[in-house]
């Protein structure tokens, strides 16, 4: 039996942070209409350049490109629980 296709998705955009960009932004995407609805900034982080959603759609991972993490030359990985209703 074929599963019903989803029409609405949460889409996350990671950014290099600056005065204009503050971190991770979310949108709702309607696959039937092609419409993106901005939900705004969902998480302030420094340079979350690569994002991945866990297969269960409950966790968002972000690679933070930073020059220093806890006083060491390094980057960081952040994980966030996803609220499917608000995108936060």
Show the beta-strand stretches assigned E in the chain: 8-13, 23-30, 35-44, 48-53, 59-64, 76-81
**pLDDT of 4 higher than 70:** no
pLDDT digits (tens, 9 = 90+) for 63-75: 998 877 677 767 7
Structural domain boundaries in the chain: 8-81
More confident residue, 67 or 87: 87
pLDDT digits (tens, 9 = 90+) for 23-54: 999 999 999 999 999 999 999 998 998 999 99
Residue 66 near residue 76 (C-beta atoms within 8 A): yes
pTM across the whole model: 0.82
Give the model's pLDDT for residue 13: 96
């Amino acid at each position: 039996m074929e599963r019903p296709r989803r029409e609405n998705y949460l889409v996350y955009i990671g950014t290099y942070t600056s005065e204009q960009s503050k971190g991770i932004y979310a949108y709702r995407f309607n696959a039937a209409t092609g419409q993106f609805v901005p939900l705004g900034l969902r998480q302030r982080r420094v340079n979350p350049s690569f994002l991945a959603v866990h297969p269960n759609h409950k966790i968002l991972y972000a690679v933070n490109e930073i020059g220093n993490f806890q006083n060491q030359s390094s980057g960081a990985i952040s994980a966030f629980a996803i609220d499917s209703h608000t995108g936060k």
